[in-house]
Homo-oligomer: A and B are copies of this chain.
């Protein structure tokens, strides 16, 4: 008979991969680690799961403590549990990714917190298996973005097609033909054109759009129309 008391016990932590978009580039928010080992090295923001906390609670606490942010898009990525991933003591870590519109929180983040934004493709080397976590989170972001409107979490409520195009390019880490993109995104019918124009980017200006969330979900279904419903 297996007894609970004879089983090994472990530390369990969360680590947050925080992605943001500033209208031009996909970025990642990093902190300098505050404890040994690897103190002062660049790291994902993380922390141990407290006695009364669920992993989701811990991720929200860590995000708030390091950024002041509440109510942002936060999703469980996976568990990292290789026995030797932490050199001090076995620690399993639950990875979470968060998506942020950088401009929305710009002032708050710059003044009150130590966290710093890096270009996703020009970031420092990270401690432990955090580089792997970032790679996995990017892959999942790309994959989920193909079927869920999660990228719009990183855009302002009203945005231009050039902004959306840049975000798609950055998330997929590749060039996408501008004219094709514009034609396709309009043909899917998930965007609502507004009257107003953004005149900062060019003389001619670019119309603002907003996402039609309900339509997005319906259209996503169309892509795999063998299935009557596509939830989750």
User: What is the minimal beta-carbon distance from A60 to any residue of chain B, in angstroms?
Assistant: 13
Asked if A150 CB lies within 8 Å of chain B CBs, one says: no
Chain B residues within an 8 Å CB radius of A72: none
Interfacial residues of chain A within 53-90, with CB under 8 A of chain B in the complex = 53-56, 76, 78-79, 81-83, 88-90
Residue-wise, chain A 1-18 has the 8 Å CB interface mask toward B (1 for contact) of: 111100111111000000
Task: Report the bound CA distance from A181 to B88 in whole Å.
Answer: 56
Q: How far is the CA of A88 from the CA of B48 in the complex (A)?
A: 22
Q: Which residues of B contact A194 (CB under 8 A)?
A: none
Bound Cα distance A35, B8 (Å): 17
Convert A78-112 into 0s and 1s, putting 1 for each residue whose CB lies closer than 8 angstroms to a CB of B.
11011100001111101000000000000000000
- Complex Cα distance A143/B229, Å? 9
A51 and B230 contact, Cβ closer than 8 Å, known pairs A1-B34, A4-B88, A147-B147: no
Which residues of chain A in 166-181 are interfacial with respect to chain B, using CB atoms and an 8 Å cutoff?
168, 172, 174, 176, 181
In the bound complex, what is the Cα–Cα distance between A174 and B129 (angstroms)? 42
Q: How far is the CA of A212 from the CA of B172 in the complex (A)?
A: 26
- In the assembled complex, the Cα of A79 lies from the Cα of B54 at a distance in Å of 10
User: A91: which B residues are within 8 A, CB to CB?
Assistant: 4
Instruction: Decide: B49 and A81 in contact? CB cutoff 8 A.
Output: yes
Residues of B within 8 A of A184 (CB): 225-226
Interface bracket on A? 35 or more
Residue ID in chain B nearest A8 by CB atoms: B51
Does B1 contact A35, Cβ atoms closer than 8 Å? Answer: yes
Given the known interface contacts A4-B89, A12-B10, the answer about A231 and B142 at a Cβ–Cβ threshold of 8 Å is yes
CB-defined A-B contacts under 8 Å, sample of 21: A1-B34, A1-B35, A2-B34, A2-B35, A4-B11, A7-B11, A8-B48, A12-B81, A51-B83, A51-B90, A53-B83, A54-B82, A140-B232, A142-B227, A146-B230, A147-B147, A147-B224, A172-B228, A172-B229, A174-B229, A188-B226
What residues of chain A have their CB less than 8 Å away from a CB belonging to chain B? 1-4, 7-12, 34-35, 47-56, 76, 78-79, 81-83, 88-92, 94, 139-140, 142-143, 145-147, 168, 172, 174, 176, 181, 184-185, 188, 223-232
